[in-house]
Copies of this chain bind each other. A is one copy, B any other.
Amino acid sequence: MTIEILQDSPDKVRETEDAATREARMPSSLVAHFGPDEPLRLDAGRALSPFQIAYTTHGTLNADKSNAILVCHALTGDQYVASRNPVTGKPGWWSTLVGEGKPLDPSRYFIICSNVIGGCMGSTGPAALDPATGEPYALDLPVLTIRDMVRAQAMLVDRLGIDTLFAVVGGSMGGMQVLEWAVTYKDRVFAALPIATGARHSSQNIAFHEVGRQAVVADPEWRAGRYILEGTRPHKGLAVARMAAHVTYLSEAALQRKFGRNLQDREALGFGFDADFQIESYLRHQGMTFVDRFDANSYLYMTRAMDYFDIAAEYGGSLAEAFRGTRTRFCLVSFSSDWLFPTEENRAVVHALNAAAASVSFVEIETDRGHDAFLLDEPELFDAIRGFISSAARLRGL
């Protein structure tokens, strides 16, 4: 068993000080290394080896190792679920949910959050060195799937000596991982909490991801993916991708309420192409700050993994068949104004679970905050999670 504090990661290129390299130098994550004897089998039909997983933990694993909760992050998330993010300096992305007295309380549970395979915050991704060439993988890293991510997490959970996770929790791409866990490791998940997600990526969602990918690859600084080696960064393309995606995380009603047609720092229209409207400044800011913390190739891999996600595909198109035999307790949560993963997508999972005779509860939360609601201060979400986790904990004897 090799678990060590990540101080200096050898498989990172460090010519320029970007997010991945800053993180690699920060002793803020744990990291698990998997050597040549422990390859990660990939859906692409190849294996990834060696590889590493960066992760954080909160709380203490109890004696019978029954109180572990795995939190799965979304597309641009990371392992800093409840601790200060060393790259952005901001609090953990779900520190509203994970902490003392909060629904996921480290004084009761052992909480694990790992950067997904393909990511850019310390786990092996396209910026890592390919042992075959000694250069960053770039696009030579095989395309990854949600199941690959989950398979890597299972190897981490094995490494931590945990047989069955008390709960797996996540929203959006994190929710996809939760569903994949419940299907692929049926006996290893006591309770599953997929939030704002679906069992497959819709045509429209693929379309928006494709726009983002094309924005990245249209940037000449992307250099066919070899930008790290060539000392460039496709910041402009990645910023456009983020802007396009960000609109889809919100809702028309929330945008109208928050920004409407309000002007930015001016009393009248400027009759130019500077940001006249607050919504324009807001989006530009989202794009600009994103490129400081995220790797462009990782963005390609993460979006591709989501696009490939379609649980029923391997079960003759039957989602119920995928869940057949499960004894996991499920709670699904959707948001009424989420148009990336609308309630009906979540409900389709609920129906399949019903058909598979699973234990399942479902909450649709009324809000105008769109898909992003799962990351925001939504009391109803916290109440739902607290209620479900407490009840499952009683059943589990915690």
Contacts and interface: CB of A to CB of B under 8 A. Distances in A.
Interface of A: 43-45, 139, 142-143, 200-204, 206-208, 210-211, 213-215, 217-220, 236-237, 239-240, 243-244, 247, 250, 252, 255-256, 258-261, 269, 271-273, 275-277, 279-280, 283-284, 287, 300, 304, 307-308, 310, 339, 342
Given A215-B240, A308-B269, A207 B255 contact: yes
For A206, A211, A214, A215, which residue has the most chain B Cβ atoms within 10 angstroms?
A211
Contact of A260 (B203, B217, B240, B280): B203
Contacts of A218: 215, 218-219, 236-237, 239-240
B279 A243 contact: no
Nearest to A307: B277
A226 B302 CA distance: 36
Nearest to A251: B204
Contacts of A259: 203
A304 B275 CA distance: 11
Contacts of A308: 269, 276
20 contacts: A44-B271, A143-B273, A202-B252, A203-B252, A203-B256, A203-B259, A203-B279, A204-B256, A206-B279, A206-B280, A207-B255, A208-B247, A210-B283, A214-B283, A214-B287, A218-B219, A220-B220, A252-B342, A269-B308, A273-B300
Contacts of A201: 261
Nearest to A214: B240
A394 to B, nearest CB: 40
Contacts of A283: 207, 210-211, 214
How many copies of the chain does the oligomer comprise? Answer: 2
For A202, A207, A256, A271, which residue has the most chain B Cβ atoms within 10 angstroms?
A207
A279 B142 contact: no
A308 B143 CA distance: 43
Nearest to A46: B271
A211 B211 CA distance: 11
A113 B128 CA distance: 57
Given A239-B218, A240-B215, A273-B139, A261 B200 contact: yes
Contact of A143 (B239, B243, B271): B271
A29 to B, nearest CB: 28
B256 A202 contact: yes
A143 B255 contact: no
A309 to B, nearest CB: 10
Nearest to A262: B203
B287 A207 contact: no
Nearest to A237: B218
Minimum-distance CB pairs A-B, first 10: A218-B236, A203-B255, A44-B271, A143-B271, A204-B252, A210-B280, A207-B247, A203-B259, A211-B244, A211-B243
Nearest to A304: B273
Nearest to A235: B218
A64 to B, nearest CB: 40
A275 B211 CA distance: 12
For A240, A287, A339, which residue has the most chain B Cβ atoms within 10 angstroms?
A240
Contact of A203 (B219, B239, B261): B261
Nearest to A243: B211
Nearest to A215: B240
A239 to B, nearest CB: 7
